[in-house]
A and B are shown apart, each in its own frame.
Chain A
Amino acid sequence: EAQVTQNPRYLITVTGKKLTVTCSQNMNHEYMSWYRQDPGLGLRQIYYSMNVEVTDKGDVPEGYKVSRKEKRNFPLILESPSPNQTSLYFCASSPADGGVYEQYFGPGTRLTVT
């Protein structure tokens, strides 16, 4: 089944404790992206990657890191989480063969930072 998976689905952590949210897709998509969803704000892009080893900032990159060492994986790293990073996080992927296609979203990771 074609899908984007994220782990963990739920996470409660404390300020300053480094964490990684994994994202993996099995559709051989070049493009991957991370969004955060906050009430009243819709979804905002954090980082994106056009292909392996190619990553760049989105609209709200502060406090986050990403890496793209393999095509299928695009982990989101919070080196020192803070309470304002409490949010619902989505990973997404799509083809990037010259067109613009719908992005397929993972199930979401609900993060709480206390």
Chain B
Amino acid sequence: AQKVTQAQTEISVVEKEDVTLDCVYETRDTTYYLFWYKQPPSGELVFLIRRNSFDEQNEISGRYSWNFQKSTSSFNFTITASQVVDSAVYFCALSEATGRRALTFGSGTRLQVQP
């Protein structure tokens, strides 16, 4: 069975601080996909990134960066120079490559960025 663990329930930082959100996953599949979604206070789910299990390159998109380490089954998300607008719940998710393609979500990390 697949499992995603986000051990950090809530993180509070002051604006301009860097913050890393941890994600650890479990799967028996050799091919799988990892995702991060953002859920702002308005409630919608916003897609941030998709990564397949064969691509371990780190990725940077503006202030966001992702560190995928297959050896430790982790897919961590870093926000550099955080802003108040980054305040949200962030979900890490795992999907099988075939079959029902369900997203297995972690329980989320609530990030509060204080001005």
Chain A interface residues toward B at CB < 8 A:
31, 33, 35, 40-45, 48, 56, 58-59, 88, 90, 92, 94, 96, 100-105, 107-108
Contacts and interface: CB of A to CB of B under 8 A. Distances in A.
A90 B93 CA distance: 15
Classify the interface of chain B: helix, strand, loop or mixed. Answer: strand
18 contacts: A31-B101, A33-B102, A35-B103, A43-B105, A45-B100, A48-B101, A58-B100, A88-B43, A90-B45, A92-B103, A94-B101, A100-B52, A100-B95, A100-B96, A102-B50, A104-B47, A107-B44, A108-B45
Nearest to B35: A102
A70 B19 CA distance: 44
Interface residues of B, number: 23
Interface of B: 4, 33, 35, 37, 43-45, 47, 50, 52, 91, 93, 95-97, 100-103, 105-108
Contacts of B43: 88, 107-108
Classify the interface of chain A: helix, strand, loop or mixed. Answer: strand
